[in-house]
């Protein structure tokens, strides 16, 4: 009895984690499953219905403590629990049909392993598809999933447990469960399609917004260059007049008052964004230019470096633009409060990876990294900032992208590492 409960508890946890893209069994999963098996075995002596209810509830709580998302935890555990019931019924039918007697546990383990492997392959296939997007579950959906599992617990309790597990009732319940699973997949498929349509629409709007903003900033930059050209022509005419009249003292004074400041201006940070032209991706180029140019206008010292042209970033363009936008926003927010703040941004590429680095100066008041990753955290007040929580979420849905965040020698450093040659989500 305890062995069967342990296998069922462990596989429910494992299948729920596989569905969420976390395939590794940890020691804590085994310890939890052993403790859960003993608890459920004890409660079954009083009420099997109560035991089944707690069976699901404690697993939801356990998964929530791991992923910190209640709605997703409830739905993942519920679906895993229903799959466990389905495999349990298949095992009963196989054992009864082939007169396998005491081999129920072995049959169940074999079916559980086959199901877990199949689920793992399916999840990998879905997540590796270029059109993959994450689905956010609502509270209503999680409540409906929980109600479905409770109703099925009641159905099993009254039609199987209280009637000595007759094979006919097991078959009927299995057919009903299969129908529920089919309905669930149909609804999920439609939900995925709608989510993809919404995602593509948001992507188009974001690209249009970025392009329009880039064009406006380029127009401003062009007007400044025209003004500089006009000033440059006037400067040459003035120099020509001083030279023609051999007014050396006037020429020196003119150089100190007029030409030297222009030289300093040419060497200022305002003209250190030339390397942006080496970024071949329009969305990324627009984000980098707009953010750094805005930072310059706010008096922040900025630098951008890209030693070689990079056209393909091997990752979804919008996700990369959103992620870098959040990083630059956080950097600008932190440095604009400083009297001499600076931001260094760079893109480097080798044969195996692309690295995007954003480094900004910090003060003693800058919060620790762990606090920045808290959902909803912002130095502007409650519920106003995206923090690093949303950034981590964007990174997680692109399997070939990793994010490193650290404080180093008075600077806050963030590195986006993009592996080349891996499967991407474009």
User: Residues 360-405: pLDDT tens digits?
Assistant: 998 766 555 545 555 444 444 444 444 566 787 788 778 889 988 8
Determine the topology of domain 275-426 in CATH.
Answer: Heat Shock Protein 90 (3.30.565)
Q: Would you call 71 exposed, middle or buried from its count of C-beta atoms within 10 A (0-12, 13-18, 19+)?
A: middle
* Separation of alpha carbons 312 and 183, rounded Å: 40
For 188, other C-beta atoms within 10 Å of its C-beta total: 13
Mean pLDDT over 336-361 rounds to: 90
Task: Give pLDDT tens digits for 203-233.
Answer: 777 667 766 766 666 666 667 667 767 776 7
Q: Which residues contact 348 (CB under 8 A, 6 or more apart)?
A: 306, 307, 354, 355, 357
* Separation of alpha carbons 131 and 127, rounded Å: 9
- Residue 221: the pLDDT is 65
pLDDT at 171 over 80: yes
- Residue 131: the pLDDT is 54
* Highest mean pLDDT, choosing among 39-48, 71-80, 124-133, 187-196: 71-80
At 327, list the tokens: 């990083």
Its pTM stands at: 0.53
In the three-class reduction of DSSP (H, G, I as helix; E, B as strand; rest coil), residue 21 is classed as coil
At 160, list the tokens: 């199987």
pLDDT at 357 over 90: yes
Task: Give pLDDT tens digits for 251-280.
Answer: 788 777 777 666 655 555 445 677 888 888
Rounded to 5 degrees, what are φ and ψ at 320? Answer: -65, -40
* Highest mean pLDDT, choosing among 268-282, 283-297, 320-334, 388-402: 320-334
Q: Considering only CA atoms, which of 404, 308, 320 is closest in space to residue 359?
A: 404
- Residue 141: the pLDDT is 76
- Residue 343: the pLDDT is 92
Percent of the chain with pLDDT over 90: 5
């Amino acid at each position: 009895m305890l062995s069967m409960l342990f296998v069922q508890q462990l596989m429910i946890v494992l299948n729920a984690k596989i569905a969420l893209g976390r395939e590794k069994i940890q020691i804590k999963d085994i310890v939890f499953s052993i403790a859960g098996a003993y608890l459920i075995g004890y409660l079954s002596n009083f009420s099997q219905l109560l035991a089944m209810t707690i069976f699901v509830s404690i697993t939801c709580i356990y998964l929530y403590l791991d992923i910190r998302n209640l709605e997703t935890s409830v739905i993942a555990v519920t679906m895993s629990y229903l799959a466990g019931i389905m495999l349990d019924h298949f095992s009963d039918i196989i054992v009864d049909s082939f007169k396998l007697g005491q081999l129920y546990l072995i049959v169940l383990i074999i079916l559980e392993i086959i199901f877990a492997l199949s689920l793992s392959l399916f999840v990998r296939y879905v997540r590796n598809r270029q059109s993959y997007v994450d689905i956010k579950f609502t509270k209503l959906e999680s409540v409906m999933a929980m109600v479905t599992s409770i109703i099925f617990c009641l159905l099993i309790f009254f039609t199987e447990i209280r009637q000595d597990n007759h094979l006919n009732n097991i078959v009927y319940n299995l057919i009903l469960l299969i129908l529920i699973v089919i309905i669930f997949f149909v609804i999920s498929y439609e939900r995925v399609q709608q989510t993809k349509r919404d995602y593509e629409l948001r992507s188009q709007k974001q690209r249009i917004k970025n392009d329009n903003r880039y064009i406006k900033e380029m127009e401003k930059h062009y007007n400044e260059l025209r003004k500089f050209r006009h000033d440059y022509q006037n400067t040459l005419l003035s120099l020509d007049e001083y030279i023609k009249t051999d007014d050396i003292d006037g020429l020196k004074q003119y150089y100190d008052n007029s030409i030297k400041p222009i030289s300093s201006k040419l060497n200022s940070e305002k003209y250190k964004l030339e390397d942006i032209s080496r970024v071949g991706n329009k969305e990324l180029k627009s984000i980098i230019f707009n953010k750094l140019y805005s930072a310059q206008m706010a008096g922040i010292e900025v630098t951008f470096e890209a030693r070689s042209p990079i056209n393909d970033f091997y990752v979804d363009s919008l996700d990369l633009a959103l992620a870098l936008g959040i990083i630059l926003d956080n950097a600008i927010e932190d440095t604009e409060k400083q009297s001499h703040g600076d931001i260094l941004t760079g893109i480097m590429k080798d044969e195996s990876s692309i690295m995007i680095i954003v480094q900004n100066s910090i003060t003693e008041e800058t919060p620790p990294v762990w606090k920045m990753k808290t959902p909803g955290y912002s130095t502007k007040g409650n519920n106003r900032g995206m923090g690093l929580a949303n950034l981590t979420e964007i990174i997680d849905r692109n399997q070939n992208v990793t994010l490193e965040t650290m404080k180093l020698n008075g600077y806050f450093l963030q590195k986006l590492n993009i592996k080349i040659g891996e499967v991407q989500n474009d």
